[in-house]
Amino acid sequence: MMWKTIVFYIFTAFLITPVALGRSIPQAPPSLSVSPGKALIDERVRVRVTGLRPRQDVTIKASMKDAGDRQWQSEASFLADRHGVVDCGRQAPISGSYKTVDPMGLFWSMAPVSALAQKGGPLFRRDTTGTGSVVMNFDLVIEGRTVASAKVLRLFAAPEVRVRDVREEGLIGRVYELPTAGRRPAILVLTGGAGGIQNRFAPLLASHGYTVFSLAYFGVDPLPRDLREIPLEYCARAIAWLRSRPSVDGNRVGILGGSKGGELALLLASTFPRKSYHSGGEDQRGGSAPVRQAGRFVAFLQDVRNGYWAAPKISPQVPLPAPLV
């Protein structure tokens, strides 16, 4: 008879469950996840919502505050799939600040909240070497109410990147590299019209395994104060110095510059051609010739501008592309 007693209690327990009483089992609240929670500024981040009803309408808002104390924001509305999931990497928004399937859409489509701050991109607070971070916040909004939040810390450099100032052989700059053994590809980074040492690209490139030499060629004592008649031979000497470093694979050296530095990168690759060079940079039109070689002025060359937020991740295991010239 014992087994009949056990069956009776199980049956009775079933009868008093919410299902038996005609009520649905309480559903877990919606969850917003942003992963990884700490990532390099060019690393893809996954934004995902679970625990929704099928085809439920939700909005994800992203925001951050830049170093100029300006608030930036983006948003996108979605319909949950049949499993009650929204995945920004697999679904296109039905409305918002971007339109197509894009895992990073909420990042690059950010715009200033204030109409007075519409000009220019976000200002990021970094230290003098270009390292630092920015926090981005995400909110899940349903029927006008925030029901879940998450955040991600975006890094401008990996914590392991080592930085060393260079003042030798007449050169002034800064070297960024990881503390790993063996020879690796290298990149000479050239500043633009602001002068000094460029620290925007160098820390990030070093985080991906390159040895990076950010070279100053004006705007730092005892170099010329202004961008005027800068000898190309100075930059060629910097390339030779970079090739000679024990950590550098001398057959894989690239040149990268932004704005005026982009023009200079192209000039160096065409004036001192070597098979391992690849130059790239941002477009800068007009102006007077800022560089000279062996006493004569050299004409400008121009390159295509690339979006910072859409910059692809670069692998040091892939050989540098063929030379442009």
Token code pair at residue 175: 């070297």
Residue 293 binned pLDDT confidence (cut-offs 50, 70, 90): very low
30 φ, ψ to 5°? -60, 145
pLDDT value at 33 more than 80: yes
Around Cβ 302, how many Cβ atoms within 10 Å? 14
Q: What's residue 275's pLDDT?
A: 41
Strands (E), 143-284: 145-155, 162-168, 171-177, 184-190, 211-216, 230-231, 248-257, 279-281
pLDDT value at 153 more than 50: yes
pLDDT value at 306 more than 50: no
Q: What's residue 127's pLDDT?
A: 61
CA–CA separation, 4 vs 83, rounded Å?
40
**Which domains, from first to last, does the chain contain?**
31-155 (2.60.40.2240), 162-297 (3.40.50.1820)
- DSSP-derived secondary structure letter, 43: S
How would you classify residue 221: left for phi > 0, otherwise alpha for psi between -120 and 50, otherwise beta? beta
Average pLDDT of the chain, as a whole number: 77
CA–CA separation, 106 vs 185, rounded Å?
33
What average pLDDT score do residues 58-68 get? 90
Residue 301 binned pLDDT confidence (cut-offs 50, 70, 90): very low
The residue with greater pLDDT, 314 or 259, is 259
Q: What's residue 206's pLDDT?
A: 93
pLDDT value at 324 more than 60: no
CA–CA separation, 87 vs 104, rounded Å?
11
pLDDT value at 305 more than 70: no
Q: What's residue 123's pLDDT?
A: 61
The model carries a pTM of: 0.70
CA–CA separation, 124 vs 193, rounded Å?
19
DSSP 203-225: HHHHHTT-EEEEEE-SSSTTS-S
